[in-house]
Amino acid sequence: MGKWLSRIHRGNLFVGRRLLCSADGSQTKARTDEDGVAAAAIQILGKTYPRDAMTNVTPTIAELVGRNLHLAPHNPVNIIKQRVVHHIHKTYTNRTGNALYAHFDNVPPVVSTEQNFSSLLISPNHPARSKKDNYYINNEVMLRAHTSAHQRDFIQMGFDHFLVTGDVYRRDEIDRSHYPVFHQMEGVRLFTRDKLFENCSDKTVGLFEEEGSDMATESRDKQAMHTLEAVKMMELNLKETVVKLVKDLFGRETEYRWNPCYFPFTHPSFELEVKFKGEWMEMLGSGIMRQDILVNGGAHDKIGWAFGLGLDRLAMLLFDIPDIRLFWSKDARFITQFESVGIDPSTDVSFRPYSKYPPCYKDVSFWLPSQGDGEGFNGNDFCDVVRSVAGDLVERVEEKDRFCHPQTDRTSLCYHITYRSMDRTITNREINTLHNTIKALSAEKLGVEIR
Ligand code: DAH
């Protein structure tokens, strides 16, 4: 299913991602309201946007915009954000003893596709832009898929050190660790030549290669214009910054490892894995920023590194939270458990499930609309239909079976849906109603034939 950027969050799109084409029936039809009037516009955060063929933000998703869990008192996502910011603020100060990094956590998630992709040098036909994986408001604006969308803009505003925290949106499968909205923190630091080499007695070493010199070519280690010395210094600084942070969050003894990886907006790029309860976990993507991003932000004489950190997964690990939907629960039995948790890890708690309500399982089978392998249908469209009907009562959607009829060449799919409420016992009757609505809506929106 949809794999966007680094695997900490969803799976690294930029490494060997399958290319699926999608003719997205569900979202391209103009929606009609109850009176049958075509709803030509969509409202998000009080603003109206025209719909077009790219629109695929569902009302369920639109309702989540503005919940801002990273700003909500006692929400574990907010607690983790505060811990990271506190660490960065106390560790890095400027000449006057003030915090070096600016922190922005109130930037609305509605961004242009230019910000989300082009500003990061993601090419016009790059699979990361797929409608299958992203929430488009229309052809020009979308719900940001990552906080990297703001890198260039803050550089342009003149910031050399900053953090951006926000809600990010990706279409994906449904299970305990995937939700269409999660939270990221972006970290960016730019250096001038003098700052980077302040402790270096060699005054001839610089950030940039002479144009035309033998070293001015891209290699595994560096971008063409950078000197190897500058890149290695940056790499050390980036890794030291991140490792200090990780040790502050998880403890001094934490085991970690760096893996090389690929992003269109950094080179070289590194992914960090941390060992938690015996298992390696991807935590963040990072790298030396592509120089064009700095140039476009007006910082051509500097060099930069950046990282992107997923907050929800971190919070789930640190507080033993078993299901990502819990962050969104409005049940007081969730949030009250975190009231006494502060910046200091000594205030940590382990989440106590307030009883586990029984699940209800249902299957749905259908024939895909087109002949052959069902090209034109994708699982994320189905997940959005399921979510729009059953919301957070869906715990998991699994593809259970797929086969192609030898005579008719039609493909049949079977999905196994786990329904469970976080807060109460659900009844078979109510789930039957929801499940039947899902079937009807799938037939209507996705053109499938229910079996
Ligand atoms: N934006 C990437 C993602 O969402 C994470 C990331 C990777 C951010 C590398 C960065 C970076 O700033 O340098 O998966």
**pLDDT: which is higher, 108 or 17:** 108
Q: Which of 176, 132, 171 is nearest to 394 (CA)?
A: 176
**291-341, pLDDT tens digit by residue?**
999 999 999 999 999 999 999 999 999 999 999 999 999 999 999 999 999
**384-413, pLDDT tens digit by residue?**
999 999 999 999 999 999 999 999 889 999
| pLDDT band at 40; cut points 50, 70, 90 | confident
| pLDDT band at 371; cut points 50, 70, 90 | low
| pLDDT band at 5; cut points 50, 70, 90 | low
Are residues 13 and 4 in contact, defined by beta-carbon separation less than 8 angstroms? yes
The confidence score (pLDDT) of residue 346 equals 87
The confidence score (pLDDT) of residue 374 equals 53
Measured from CB, residues less than 6 Å from any atom of ligand 1 are 5-6, 9, 146, 148, 186, 263, 266, 285-287, 306-308
DSSP 256-270: EEEEEEEETTEEEEE
Which atom of ligand 1 lies at the shortest distance from residue 147's CA? 1
Average pLDDT over residues 52-79: 96
Which atom of ligand 1 lies at the shortest distance from residue 4's CA? 14
Which atom of ligand 1 lies at the shortest distance from residue 188's CA? 12
Which atom of ligand 1 lies at the shortest distance from residue 266's CA? 13
Q: Which of 237, 307, 312 is the best mutation target for the ligand 1 pocket, counting ligand atoms within 8 Å of the beta carbon and taking the most? A: 307
Q: Ligand 1 mean position to 151 CA, how many Å?
A: 10
Across the strands, what pairs with 279? 276
The helix/strand count (H/E) of the chain reads as: 12, 15
Q: What percent of the chain has pLDDT over 90?
A: 84
Are residues 45 and 80 in contact, defined by beta-carbon separation less than 8 angstroms? no
Q: How far apart are CA 220 and CA 267, in angstroms?
A: 8
DSSP 352-409: --S--PPPEEEEEEEEEEEETT-TT--HHHHHHHHHHHHGGGEEEEEEEEEEE-TTT-
From 94-98, 128-132, 179-183, 368-372, the region with the lowest mean pLDDT? 368-372
Q: How far apart are CA 451 and CA 446, in angstroms?
A: 14
Q: Ligand 1 mean position to 167 CA, how many Å?
A: 14
Tokens coding 436: 């039947």
Tokens coding 61: 């998703």
Nearest CA to ligand 1 atom 5: 308
Q: How far apart are CA 60 and CA 181, in angstroms?
A: 11
Are residues 403 and 411 in contact, defined by beta-carbon separation less than 8 angstroms? yes
Nearest CA to ligand 1 atom 7: 285
Task: With 0.85 as the threshold, say if the pTM is over it.
Answer: yes
Nearest CA to ligand 1 atom 11: 286
Q: Ligand 1 mean position to 8 CA, how many Å?
A: 10
State the SS3 of 35-95: CCCECCEEEECCEEEECCCCCCCCHHHHHHCCCCHHHCCCCHHHHHHHHHHHHHHHHCECC
The confidence score (pLDDT) of residue 11 equals 45
Q: Which of 8, 178, 263, 294 is the best mutation target for the ligand 1 pocket, counting ligand atoms within 8 Å of the beta carbon and taking the most? A: 263
Q: What percent of the chain has pLDDT over 70?
A: 90
From 34-38, 115-119, 161-165, 316-320, the region with the lowest mean pLDDT? 34-38
Average pLDDT over residues 11-32: 35
Average pLDDT over residues 192-219: 95
The confidence score (pLDDT) of residue 354 equals 85
Question: Would you call 18 helix, strand, or coil by DSSP?
Answer: coil
Q: Ligand 1 mean position to 285 CA, how many Å?
A: 5
Q: Ligand 1 mean position to 149 CA, how many Å?
A: 10
Residue in the structure block whose two tokens are 């500058």? 230
Are residues 185 and 311 in contact, defined by beta-carbon separation less than 8 angstroms? yes
320: left (phi over 0), alpha (psi -120 to 50) or beta: left
Average pLDDT over residues 172-177: 91
80: which residues sit within 8 A by CB, 6+ positions away?
A: 249, 311, 314, 315, 318
- 355 pLDDT exceeds 80? no
Q: Ligand 1 mean position to 90 CA, how many Å?
A: 24
Q: What is the mean pLDDT of the chain?
A: 90
Q: Ligand 1 mean position to 123 CA, how many Å?
A: 16
Which atom of ligand 1 lies at the shortest distance from residue 9's CA? 14
Nearest CA to ligand 1 atom 8: 308
| pLDDT band at 26; cut points 50, 70, 90 | very low
Q: How far apart are CA 322 and CA 420, in angstroms?
A: 13
- 12 pLDDT exceeds 80? no
Q: Ligand 1 mean position to 414 CA, how many Å?
A: 34
DSSP 402-418: EEE-TTT-EEEEEEEEE
CA distances from residue 61 to 43, 168, 391 in whole angstroms, order as listed: 11, 11, 10
